[in-house]
Each structure stands twice: as C-alpha cells, then as structure tokens.
C-alpha cells in the first residue's frame, strides 16, 4: 500500500501575506441555494424532504502565485531560448509526475544563496544519484514560517548557477519550501538599491529566459520525505494563458 504526503499549504486568507498575494474566499451557506432554486422556478412544496440546499464558495481574490503553485516559463519572460515561452496550460503532463528527490538545504542561513557546490555536496553525502526528469525538491525548512510575516522576508534561495546546473542535468521541474525560488524579495530589492547593481534582482528566475524549466514555490512537509525513493505529483490547474497555477502537490511513498 502506498502512503501519500501532502506537500501543499492550505488555501485561506492570511493577513500576514503580502497585500498583493492575499487570498479571499467567501463561503456561502446551504440556505442560500434554497432561495436560488425558488427563483429559478421550483416551488418550495416540491423541494426534497429535509433539503437544506447546497453549500457553495467563491474565490474572490487569489493570484496564481499566492499559495503552493507551479511557475510556467511564461512567468520568467515571454521568450525562452528564442522561442515563445510556455504558459501553464502548455506544460507537458509528463513533466508533472516522476521520481522525487529531496536536497536538504535547511542548514543554509537566511540570505545565503544555495550554490552548485551546496547541491553537489548534499547529493554526495546522501549517495543519491540525480537523474534526468526527476522532480527535485529543495528543503530549506522555512515552511515553518508559513502564516507569519517573516515567511516572505526570510530564507535562503537558489543561485542562478545552481538553478542552471539542475536544468542542465535534465531537471524540468524543481521546487522549494519557502516563499520564493530566489533570495527573499525584500532582500533582493534592498541589495540592488544599495549596490546600484541591476544584476542582483531575480537572478534565479531569470535563468528561465535562456533555459526552459518550471519551479514550485511554497511547498510544505519536505521534512517528512526521504532523500529519494518516492514519486511526486504536481498537476497545476489548467488556466489558459496563465503564468502559473495553484497545484495540489503530493508525494507517493511505497510502504
């Protein structure tokens, strides 16, 4: 029997999220449906016995990057390696299911980028072989900050060199358990302003202008996984033309 581990965070309103990424959901009670049905023409006397109506919910505001999600190449730039970038509905489904691999980077300090040496040393330590088409999960341990203001402000992050190295090993999909793939957004902005260096902002994401790949952000529960020996499902919602989509990411372990 297989064991399933949910790697997706709950979708709900959180006031500590950045204002541009807050989720708002309206929950509609069962009783509202009864009046809707009456307005559509069914008399109350013909309602099923003890019928309470149905519950319903409306997502009033939720960006496609607001929760656990998969970024498409279109998110990084409109052109990748000279070709039109794929939107999320164009991502091949066979990219979204495969052997999983966890690389533990939880020892990395906040604002210290993950390097190629970091990845290679971690793989050597575990003895796990990186193979093309694997889905690589970067464990930082920052999912423990979920729900707090610090979630978007603290963390390590993938360097452009490390991102490029994974892609060149044949990795199409990779993911991380912190707010973003790069170093924290506010930190990148601050450092770019201090140094007046335009090359310091969004470096890992922008690897996607030269090489095609997808990454997941805001994963959870990577500490519940072994280094390897499991499958990963990461099927995003099929939103036509979108730069990303929420995904229910699940690891499948054989007992």
Average pLDDT (187-211) is 95
Same domain, 56 and 78: no
Tell me, yes or no, whether 222 and 131 share the same domain: yes
CATH code for the domain of 192:
3.50.30.50
Q: Does one domain contain both 40 and 88?
A: no
Give the dihedral of Cα atoms 183, 156, 236, 84; nearest 10 deg.
40
Mean pLDDT in residue range 148-152: 97
Q: For 38-45, what is the mean pLDDT?
A: 90
User: Residue 34 has what pLDDT?
Assistant: 87
Helices 116-126 and 160-168: crossing angle, nearest 10°? Answer: 50
Is the pLDDT assigned to residue 119 strictly greater than 90?
Answer: yes
How confident is the model over 118-143, as a mean pLDDT?
97
Instruction: Report if residue 6 sits inside a domain.
Output: no
Residue 1 predicted with pLDDT over 90: no
Q: Over the chain, what is the mean pLDDT?
A: 96
Domain boundary among 39, 61, 83: 61
Query: Does residue 4 sit within a domain?
Result: no
Instruction: Report yes or no on whether pTM surpasses 0.75.
Output: yes
- Angle (nearest 5°) at CA 234 between 231 and 141: 80
Query: Do residue 205 and residue 224 come from a single domain?
Result: yes
CA-based Rg of the chain, rounded to a whole angstrom?
21
State the pLDDT confidence band at 35, using cuts at 50, 70 and 90: confident
Strand partners for 79? 84
Q: Which pLDDT value is given to residue 13? A: 97
Domain match, 121 and 55 both: no
Q: Is the same domain home to 188 and 128?
A: yes
Classify residue 16: in a domain, yes or no: no
| 3-class SS letters over the chain | CEEEEECECCCCCCCCCCHHHCCEEEEECHHHHHHHHHHCCCCHHHCCCCCCCCCEEEEEECCCCCCCEEECHHHHCCEECCEECCCHHHCCHHHCEEEEEEEECCCCCCCCCECHHHHHHHHHHHCCCCCCCCEEEEECCHHHHCCCHHHHCCCCCECHHHHHHHHHCCCCEEEECCCCCCCCHHHHHHHHHHHCCHHHCCCCHHHHHCCCCEEEECECCHHHCCCCCEEEECCECCCCCCCEEEECCEEEEEC
- State the total domains in the chain: 2
Please state the rounded mean pLDDT for residues 57-65.
97
Q: pLDDT by residue (tens digit) across 213-230?
A: 999 999 999 999 999 999
pLDDT > 80? residue 255: no
Question: What does the pLDDT average to over 9-20?
Answer: 95
- Shared domain for 240 and 137, answered yes or no, is yes
Rounded to an integer, the average pLDDT of 73-98 is: 97
Same-domain check for residues 40 and 75: no
CB under 8 Å to 33, separation ≥6 — which residues? Answer: 53, 54, 55, 56
Residues 226 and 205 both lie in one domain: yes
Which residues span the domain enclosing 40?
Answer: 24-61
45 & 152 share domain: no
Q: What's the average model confidence in pLDDT over 156-173?
A: 98
């Amino acid at each position: 029997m297989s064991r399933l581990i949910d790697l997706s965070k709950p979708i709900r309103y959180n006031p500590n999220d950045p204002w541009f990424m807050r989720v708002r959901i309206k929950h509609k009670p069962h009783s509202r449906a009864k009046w809707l049905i009456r307005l559509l023409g069914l008399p109350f006397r013909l309602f099923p016995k003890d019928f309470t109506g149905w519950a319903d919910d409306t997502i009033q505001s939720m960006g496609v990057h607001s929760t656990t999600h998969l970024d498409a190449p279109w998110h990084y730039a409109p052109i990748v390696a000279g070709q039109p970038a794929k939107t999320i509905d164009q991502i091949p489904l066979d990219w979204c299911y495969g052997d999983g691999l966890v690389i533990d980077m939880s020892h990395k300090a906040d604002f210290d980028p993950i390097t190629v040496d970091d990845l290679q040393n971690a793989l050597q330590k575990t003895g796990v072989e990186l193979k093309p088409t694997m889905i690589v999960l970067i464990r930082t341990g920052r999912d423990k900050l979920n729900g707090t203001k610090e979630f978007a402000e603290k963390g390590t992050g993938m360097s452009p060199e490390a991102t490029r190295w994974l892609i060149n090993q044949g990795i199409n999909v990779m993911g991380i358990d912190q707010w973003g793939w790069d170093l924290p957004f506010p930190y990148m902005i601050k450092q770019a302003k201090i140094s007046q260096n335009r090359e310091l902002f969004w470096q890992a994401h922008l690897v996607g202008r030269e090489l095609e790949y997808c990454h997941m952000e805001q994963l959870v529960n990577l500490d519940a996984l072994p280094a390897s020996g499991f499958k990963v499902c990461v099927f995003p919602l099929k939103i036509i033309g979108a730069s990303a989509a929420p995904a229910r990411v699940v690891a499948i372990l054989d007992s």
